Structure 1
Amino acid sequence: MWSETGYLKLVRASGLYDLLITAAFVTPWSFRLLHAALGDLHGQLGLAGTLPAFGPVQMMMANLMGSIVCVWAWLRIRHAQQRLGRYDAAGRVLFACWQGYALSQGATALISPILALEVLWAVAQLWPVRSARA
């Protein structure tokens, strides 16, 4: 069971994690660099699945996702609240569902560690919080 203070630290930490993980998605230029690096890593590891090229529409979707996740992350870092942690956990459950679906459809296995972290963050943020009044 989390203490209220511990839970707010967790919410901030999850925001920092998201900011670091998704910052490269925010612009087409940074995402191109990230995509090339992930493609190289995928090849070096000999992983199953594919890392497809990104056209303008896919790039826009990646940039939109990166932008909104970074804004959401900054909100949690600056204004951590239990309510925001619970909403973030719900978002992580959704992200994990779509990452699992992508893996089932042949996406690169590079998604697997991120999927595992999404599930761990979701579980941590859904864990009960002990009220300071108790």
Structure 2
Amino acid sequence: MSPLNASLGLGALPDLDVHSMLFANFFGTVVIIWSLVRLVWNDTRLAIYDGVARGFFSAWMGVALFSGITPLVWIFLVPEILFALLQIAGFFWLSCRSPEVAEA
């Protein structure tokens, strides 16, 4: 991503140190496990948790943007917000159509 950032005139991205890589790997592990849970347990109720988590991810990306991180983060932020809204809205839409979705 650093070459793209530099080619757009946004400067080079900093190198990752050991601590950054550690937390990136922790985070990646949680995301992979959550994805597997969502695939294996086809439970509509998990959509609300996923949507809320996406909302938190979006909030942290917003904080990073206002703190001066590369504007390329917008490429990730916009779909994240969209998917969060779709998942939360979809959960409530299904709940209204089928009350056992929210109760089960």
Q: TM-score, normalised by structure 1?
A: 0.65
Give the partner amino acid of 1:71.
I
- Corresponding position of 1:23: none
- Corresponding position of 2:45: 83
The 1-side partners of 2:8 and 2:35 are apart by 30
Give 1:116's match in structure 2, choosing from 52, 61, 78: 78
SS of corresponding position for 1:82: coil
Give the partner amino acid of 2:45.
R
How far off its partner does 1:61 sit? 0.4
Kept in 2: contact 1:51–1:107 (CA 8 A): no
How far off its partner does 1:132 sit? 8.1
Give 1:95's match in structure 2, choosing from 57, 66, 70: 57
The 2-side partners of 1:70 and 1:81 are apart by 17
The 1-side partners of 2:99 and 2:20 are apart by 46
The 2-side partners of 1:100 and 1:59 are apart by 21
Give 2:6's match in structure 1, choosing from 43, 53, 56: 43
Give 1:107's match in structure 2, choosing from 39, 48, 69: 69
Q: CA RMSD in A?
A: 1.8
The 2-side partners of 1:51 and 1:86 are apart by 34
The 2-side partners of 1:85 and 1:67 are apart by 19
Kept in 2: contact 1:86–1:125 (CA 8 A): yes
Q: Which portions of structure 1, spanning 4 or more consecutive aligned residues, are displaced by more than 3 angstroms?
A: none
Give matches, 1:1-134, under 5 Å. Answer: 38-47=1-10, 51-127=13-89, 128-129=93-94, 130-131=97-98
Deviations 1:23-58 (A, max 9, x none): xxxxxxxxxxxxxxx11111122237x632111011
Aligned length: 95
Kept in 2: contact 1:89–1:122 (CA 8 A): yes
- Corresponding position of 1:4: none
Deviations 1:57-106 (A, max 9, x none): 11100111011101101111221211111000110010000000000000
Give the partner amino acid of 2:68.
G
